[in-house]
Amino acid sequence: MSEPTSLDGVSDAVVEPRRRPSIVWLIPLVALAVGAFVAWRALSERGPSIAITFESAEGLEAGKTEIRYKDVAVGVVESVELEKDLSGVVCHARMVDGAKRYLTDKTRFWVVKPRVAGGQVSGLGTLLSGSYIGVDPVFEGERTRRFAGLEVAPLVTTDEPGRQFVLRSDRAGAVEVGSPVFFRGIPVGRVVSSELDAEGDGITTRIFVEAPYDARVHAGSRFWNASGIDASIGADGVRIDTQSVISILVGGIAFDTPPAARGERAEADAVFPLFESRTAAETRQYTKRVPYRLEFDQSVRGLAVGSPVEFRGIPVGEVTNVTLAFDREARRMYIPVEIELEPERFVHFQFEEAERREALERMVARGLRAQLKTGNLLTGQLVVALDFHPNAPPAQVDWSGEVAELPTIPTPIEEITANVTQLVQRLGKVPIDDIGRNLDGSLAALRTTLAELKGVAPALEATLEQTRRTVASVGPDSSVNAELRRTLLELSDAARALGLAADQIQSQPSSLIFGKDGDE
């Protein structure tokens, strides 16, 4: 094939189609692939998005507030908006990759800011760096992406070594969240929460004991309220017990284990009673209690719920209720007192119900009575004293009510007061004025008699002298002489006694009524 020629001898160009694409087009394709890979990697490494609700957005700022765990950023707040019902705020945050493992319903979030609790200060670093959201990750639980944030930072996180225990009591006292827990005067934990039971009959307090001190908690350990100062007066003087200055200011709980109760370690979340004081915790506990009822007509000032019931000075129970009642039939007021006795305190006194009734009736027949006595002269506290009074009026146990009623007797002071009152009433009935008038008349008559006696005395002496002369004229050996001498001696003694009586009446006229001084 001959090549084409042109008129001027120059060959014409021949256009042939290109069978392969140009390498230039590879550049945008590579750029697109790289961009897609970067986008895919960015999306694949992007952490999950979560929503956290709080009561307010104080300290939260979109794009700046971080979510931290052990001061390491694990997320950031992307936006903050109000709830639809305006009940709070919703904080949308983006977590780092790998956070899905601990996004469970047990994981907790809270805003970290300066806080004072239980004598401890936390979150001071946020004064300069600003607030952030703390997280307590928990791997167990159901997966979720929505959380209810805590308004108060938790005192114990899941990564802190130690165990929690539950304490139950009738009152919380001065124990607050964050109060320290002491073991032999050393702080080893803190109070995590304190709230009313669901039934509202008691207080449930949860405490955390740090490791390794949690091994000191045994099944027989005793916990008590160590708040303030525990002062008592006993036979050995004044006793003051306190754990530390912090416990005086913010309260606290202490625990110890009696040597006889040391054994296996208590399990986590084990339940223990919380006693009001160390003395109450160290007192032996009795499980069996038998209620009884008492009735008093006298004042019970100083008797309160918790006052001891004693038998010859030994505690055997306590007062559980003191009320005021009115008897419509008798038209009188009286004071019912409810007590509980602990039969386990009595050795060899563990009877069945029927035997217990029979034994109690026999003791009441022998004089067993309940009586109010002063237990403390300084405070005026009363105690219910049980003892035998053989001279007490006959009485029986009243089994007619739901609770058996034991007979009572008045206090010694009340008996003395009643006797003095009766004496005063009797003295009030004595006619003092009439006695005074009669006494004046008797004294006047006595004066007249005394004057007459003085007039008779010279005549009597003259008679005696005449008798002596007569006796002298009689023979000394005659029987008449001896008889006359004996008569004269008797008359002389009578005259002397009459003179002494006259002197006594003249010096002490009242002796006629009351006798001589000193005579019984």
Q: Tally the residues of the chain.
A: 520
Question: Residue 179: what residue type?
Answer: S
| Residue for token pair 């419509």 | 328
pLDDT confidence of residue 208: 93
pLDDT, average across residues 282-310: 85
CA distances, 26 to each of 17, 29, 30, 38, 279 (Å) = 20, 5, 6, 18, 89
Of the ranges 327-331, 367-371, 445-449, which is most confident?
367-371
DSSP symbol at 96: P
Least confident of 74-78, 207-211, 223-227, 486-490: 486-490
pLDDT confidence of 237, banded at 50, 70, 90? very low
What mean pLDDT value characterizes the chain? 77
Bridge partners of residue 336, in order along the sequence:
295
Global pTM exceeds 0.85: no
Rounded to a whole number of angstroms, the distance between the first and last alpha carbons of the chain is 181
Given a contact cutoff of 8 angstroms between Cβ atoms, the answer to whether 183 and 249 are in contact is: no
Q: Is 249 helix (H, G, I), strand (E, B) or coil?
A: helix
More confident residue, 15 or 374: 374
pLDDT confidence of residue 99: 84
pLDDT confidence of residue 235: 38
pLDDT, average across residues 48-62: 90
Give 100-118 pLDDT, tens digit per residue. Answer: 888 999 999 999 887 655 4
pLDDT, average across residues 409-430: 67
Looking at the predicted structure, is the pLDDT value of residue 342 above 50? Answer: yes
Q: Which helix (H) or strand (E) holds 335?
A: strand 332-341
Burial 436-460 (b: 16+ CB within 10 A, else e): eeeeeeeeeeeeeebeebeeeeeee
Give 175-200 pLDDT, tens digit per residue. Answer: 778 888 999 888 999 888 888 877 76
pLDDT confidence of residue 479: 61
Q: Are strands 108-112 and 115-117 parallel, antiparallel or unpaired?
A: unpaired
Query: Which residues, including other chains, have CB under 8 Å from residue 343's CB and lie 6 or more apart?
Result: 288, 290, 349, 350, 351, 356
Q: For residue 281, how many other CB atoms are within 10 A of its CB?
A: 20
